[in-house]
Amino acid sequence: MQKWFQKAKLGIFIHYGIYAVKGVSESWSFYHGSISYEDYMRQLEGFTASRFDADHWAELFRKSGARYAVLTSKHHDGVAMYDTKYSDLSVVKKSPAARDILGNYIEAIRKAGLKVGVYYSLMDWSHPDYASVYPDGRVPEDPAGGNKYSQPMDGRQDEKAWQRFLEFDRAQLKEILTNYGKVDLLWFDGDWERSAAQWGLPEFKDYLKSFNPDLIINNRFAGYGDYLTPEQGIPVNRPKGVWEFCTTINSSWGYQHRDNHYKSLRQIIHMFCDCLSMGGNLLLDVGPMEDGTIPPRQEAVLLGLGEWIRANEEAVYDSVAGIPANYYGDGSVLSEDGQTLYLFVHNVPREAICVKGLQNRVTRATILHSGKELGYTVHGGAPWNDIPGILWIFMTEEDCAESTTVVKLELKDRVRLYDGGGAVVTDNH
Ligand code: GLC
């Protein structure tokens, strides 16, 4: 895994596509029949990208503190956001926008110094050869119970068509990986309708890496990805290995006019801290309107998040996962040398915050954004028996930031945690 990815901490996800015209859910709306396929595709006629300004996007993402971005180059609907030789179904050929959105985006993102990520849906519900086989090749008892966009409804599989489809996906991916300079990250989606063997793995992965050995691929690749991508529901337990949590600012990936179910900036910062605490990244999604404008409420969240990161930078990019929540409930991160512990404080304490089970001596406690020194004390414990007390750090409302406050704890040596269940003190002083 490339080091840059684990240090990036924040990425911006962009679901930009024709679904923003009517504000229907990306691809799923026709798949589930809330709009007909024809009406869905008619959105191509209304997709103008008339105010699309890739440099503005890139600058906004940079200001948000993100170190990478991931744009949908093709969602499950099969509509390419770039100029592909292998299909006419693209906003370049079929919409008034008539421009290579992906190309513009990649250039601007790279210029802004961010890493370039591209989302690509492996499944393609528009391609005539896609709905040719069943998951794992198993013909269901009732083929009519499937979905016509992803499975043959007559129960007959067409292996040749499937092989043609695989070639098509590979050809489109080659375009993406070779026409625009270096792509740092491929963000796959929609692997779940076929097995690894059907996708032609692991050869498929070798093929992609042959264009760029440093390429990072997410785990929606039938078990062959490089990192995990929990989605919408934040992990409660720390995922194993490298991971990135992707989520929306309101409830939709793409732009939906009626979706006002927004998370507040404080909630987003809280969630970001939760990711940091468990050693993961946050991939925060925006859904631009059809003209390319990022909705102002989403833009405001990005700018607010960036301000928070700048004020607390020390606890962000160079940090690693903190101590478990039973030691400190609001989440924390550690410096790489393990000698500084950064505690997240999401709400306003009345008197103090407390850390349990810390074996180290604290040498200093400060508020990270202001540098203000805090008082602290340890109560209880029997260090001579290796039983730590409770560390109380005094802080109240006046010490707090607008959103999550970070308390910096400097420790005498590398963090050491008590992991017992309590014990009798057999040698009392
Ligand atoms: C989902 C969906 C999709 C969305 C995405 C983001 O599973 O299929 O609409 O693009 O993954 O993570």
Please count the structural domains in the chain.
2
User: What value does the mean pLDDT take over residues 188-200?
Assistant: 97
Does residue 418 sit within a domain? no
Does residue 428 sit within a domain? no
Instruction: Let me know whether 31 and 154 are in one domain.
Output: yes
Instruction: Let me know whether 307 and 328 are in one domain.
Output: no
pLDDT digits (tens, 9 = 90+) for 128-185: 999 999 999 999 999 999 999 999 999 999 999 999 999 999 999 999 999 999 999 9
User: What value does the mean pLDDT take over residues 256-269?
Assistant: 97
* C-beta 120 within 6 A of ligand 1: no
Instruction: Let me know whether 74 and 207 are in one domain.
Output: yes
User: What value does the mean pLDDT take over residues 327-355?
Assistant: 98
* C-beta 100 within 6 A of ligand 1: no
pLDDT digits (tens, 9 = 90+) for 35-80: 999 999 999 999 999 999 999 999 999 999 999 999 999 999 999 9
Does residue 421 sit within a domain? no
Does residue 214 sit within a domain? yes
Instruction: Let me know whether 135 and 70 are in one domain.
Output: yes
Question: What CATH code is carried by the domain that includes residue 93?
Answer: 3.20.20.80
User: What value does the mean pLDDT take over residues 9-21?
Assistant: 98
* Owning domain of residue 22: 3-311
Instruction: Let me know whether 217 and 97 are in one domain.
Output: yes
Question: What CATH code is carried by the domain that includes residue 398?
Answer: 2.60.40.1180
As given in the structure block, the two tokens for residue 288 are 């631009």
Does residue 417 sit within a domain? no
Domain stops at, among 280, 311, 342: 311
pLDDT above 90 (res 422): no
Instruction: Let me know whether 334 and 240 are in one domain.
Output: no
Q: What is the pLDDT of residue 253?
A: 98
pLDDT above 80 (res 428): no
Share of the chain above pLDDT 90, in %: 94
Helix (H) or strand (E) holding 282: strand 281-286
pLDDT above 90 (res 386): no
Q: What is the pLDDT of residue 205?
A: 97
Q: What is the pLDDT of residue 393?
A: 98
The three state secondary structure string of 318-344 is CEEECCCCCCCCCCEEEECCCCEEEEE
Model confidence, pTM:
0.96
* C-beta 189 within 6 A of ligand 1: yes
Domain stops at, among 287, 311, 335: 311
Instruction: Let me know whether 307 and 323 are in one domain.
Output: no
* C-beta 253 within 6 A of ligand 1: yes
Instruction: Let me know whether 288 and 344 are in one domain.
Output: no
Does residue 423 sit within a domain? no
Q: What is the pLDDT of residue 274?
A: 97
The residue among 276, 286, 288, 275 whose CA lies nearest residue 50 is 288
Instruction: Let me know whether 283 and 327 are in one domain.
Output: no
Does residue 127 sit within a domain? yes
Probe target for ligand 1 pocket from 118, 189, 244, 282, with the most ligand atoms within 8 Å of CB: 189
Mean pLDDT over the full length of the chain: 96
Distance between Cα 74 and ligand 1 center (Å): 12
Does residue 28 sit within a domain? yes
Atom 9 of ligand 1: nearest residue by CA position: 26
Residue 69 and residue 61 in contact, taking contact as beta carbons nearer than 8 Å: yes
pLDDT band at 421 (very low <50, low <70, confident <90, very high): confident
Domain stops at, among 311, 342, 358: 311
Instruction: Let me know whether 394 and 335 are in one domain.
Output: yes
Instruction: Let me know whether 329 and 245 are in one domain.
Output: no
In this structure, the strands spanning 332-335 and 115-121 are unpaired
Instruction: Let me know whether 7 and 59 are in one domain.
Output: yes
